[in-house]
Amino acid sequence: MENHTLEMNEHTSLGKVEIAPEVIEVIASIAAAEVQGVAELRGNFASGVAERLGRKVHRKGVKVELKEDGIEIDIEIVVLYGNSIPEVGKQVQDNIRSQMLTMTALEPKNINISIVGIQFKKDELIEE
């Protein structure tokens, strides 16, 4: 899908509706952050700098690919110590899927979760 937007299957009498991949990234990011046991999402250097400058980056740690066979979402999270990593991962997948269906009527083909660290306390982070 070269145009970097996702066209909805339903056309209205007023025209078509398209969704940018960045919108899907924001939906997935917020849905993941809502799950109990998720300490934070892991972004890149640029998103870290932007947050330090006071700008909230809702897409950090999320990558969306629009493929011919569907939407693929990759997300990197840090889990709070004491939580079941498989359970947190499953809950993140379920919440992203649910929010995607509710907000866009689209169902992702894959939602891949990468656990990139464990956080013990608010400021104490152990990474792989």
Domain of 50, CATH number, reads 3.30.70.1350
57 closest CA partner among 81, 93, 33: 33
Write the pLDDT tens digit of every residue in 34-82: 999 999 998 644 444 444 444 454 556 899 998 888 999 999 999 999 9
- 39 is a domain residue: yes
- 120 is a domain residue: yes
- 112 is a domain residue: yes
Write the pLDDT tens digit of every residue in 3-47: 466 666 666 678 888 888 899 999 999 999 999 999 999 864 444
- 1 is a domain residue: no
Domain residue limits at 89: 6-127
Query: How many separate domains does the chain show?
Result: 1
- 66 is a domain residue: yes
pTM of the model: 0.78
- 96 is a domain residue: yes
74 contacts: CB under 8 Å, gap ≥ 6: 62, 63, 64, 65, 112, 114
Calpha distance 22→112 (Å, rounded): 17
